[in-house]
Amino acid sequence: MEILYLNNEKIKNIANNFRIKYSDNSIPVGMEDIIEVKLKMTTALSPGLKYLLGIDMIIMSNFESIYVDERIYSDETQKNRLRFSYAHEIGHFILHKNIYKNFGIKNWDDFREIQEKKSYRENIKRIDKQADIFAGHLLIPEDRLKLEINQILESLDAKLLSKIKSISKESRNQLLASQLSIIFGVSQWAMFIALSKLE
Amino acid sequence: MKNNNLQKFGQKLKELRINKGLTLRKMCQKVNYDPSNWSKIERGRISPPSNDKILNKWAEALELTNDIEIEKFISDAQVAQGLIPSDIMKEENIINYLPAFFRSVKKEKMTEEDIKELIKLIKNS
């Protein structure tokens, strides 16, 4: 089965439209509010999901419930990770709900068997990548990011500003990422990726 | 025998919470209750408490003001006792319990054992 190629621009538009429809302009984006109150999805907490199977979160095949590792859900220090995982799962809901149907998984036996197929695992990798891109755009709106960058740069004195401008783009992004990641409620890594993509 | 009162109360509880714009987390912070168990009650997997004091606190947090409404809420919770969880392996329920997508940092594919573990975890959630 061929997974439709979606470029960055296309996913960005889908994510932006989704945010406009389901959220206000505030950042960090309130993912639990969107998922539970707006989309009326159910959250179930699962102890051991992460520890035993290495899974943070699962969206179920009814696309109405999400199972979250209980420890990550309750751990205040994991809230940015949790936010990104929610956004990733919603990426699947928005982008891949119909694709899932084509896999034809009707029961646990199908679920077991399909995992043996290399083509399935390749498709899942592609799908996961798309969901990550969606999550990045959902949580870090590009316009807002530009605004916040300008605000940071404007707050610097002339000496520091010229120093910042003299370093490489990558080093500059690393410096900016630590401050911006707090504003947007994402990990520094997610922020660094978003900054790297920015023109 | 399936306990319909349990399911009905759970659905009602979720509806009341969502109507007040409360996430599971916010709701549980308000009433100082375990979110895992609250979610189980909403999904009809465990019974709600029958204690009047606790139920009154919940009714208040859900902003039920009318005496009749509060009384109905409490009595509905009290008749929704006795746990008969639905079987997640049953054909009619399967879509609710089969993962659509998941990503494991530990493994690329799930073994037979992993799947058994996963089913157990989902069953207990």
> What is the tens place of the pLDDT at every residue in B54-112?
999 999 999 998 999 999 999 899 888 765 555 555 656 777 788 888 887 777 778 88
CB atoms within 10 A of CB A104: 9
Inter-chain touch A40–B18, beta carbons under 8 Å: yes
Model pLDDT, residue B1: 44
Beta-sheet pairing, A65-69 with A42-46: parallel
A157 — phi, psi (to 5°)? -80, 165
Q: Which residues of A touch B118 (CB under 8 A)?
A: 53
Inter-chain touch A32–B21, beta carbons under 8 Å: no
Inter-chain touch B119–A108, beta carbons under 8 Å: yes
Interface check for A57 against chain B (CB to CB < 8 A): the answer is yes
Inter-chain touch B109–A121, beta carbons under 8 Å: yes
Cβ distance A36 to B23 under 8 Å? Answer: yes
Min Cα separation A173/chain B (Å): 27
Please identify among residues 152-191 of chain A the ones whose CB lies closer than 8 Å to any CB of chain B.
none
Cβ distance B105 to A54 under 8 Å? Answer: yes
Q: In this structure, what DSSP letter does residue A76 have?
A: G
Confidence of residue B34 (pLDDT cuts 50, 70, 90): very high
From the list A45, A61, A96, the residue facing B39 with the nearest CB is: A45
Q: Which regions of chain A does DSSP assign to beta strands (E)?
A: 42-46, 55-60, 65-69
What is the residue-averaged pLDDT of chain B? Answer: 86
pTM of the model: 0.91
pLDDT (tens digit, 9 = 90+) per residue, A111-161?
A: 888 888 888 888 888 999 999 999 999 999 999 999 999 999 989 888 888
Interface check for A62 against chain B (CB to CB < 8 A): the answer is yes
Min Cα separation A10/chain B (Å): 21
Residue A141: cis peptide before it, omega within 30 degrees of 0: no
pLDDT (tens digit, 9 = 90+) per residue, A95-120?
A: 999 888 888 888 888 988 888 888 88
Inter-chain touch A53–B35, beta carbons under 8 Å: no
Interface check for A104 against chain B (CB to CB < 8 A): the answer is no
Q: How far apart are CA B65 and CA B63, in angstroms?
A: 6
Inter-chain touch A108–B95, beta carbons under 8 Å: no
- Judged against a pLDDT cut of 50, whether residue A42 lies above it is answered with yes
Model pLDDT, residue A60: 94
| Beta bridge mates, A66 | A43, A59
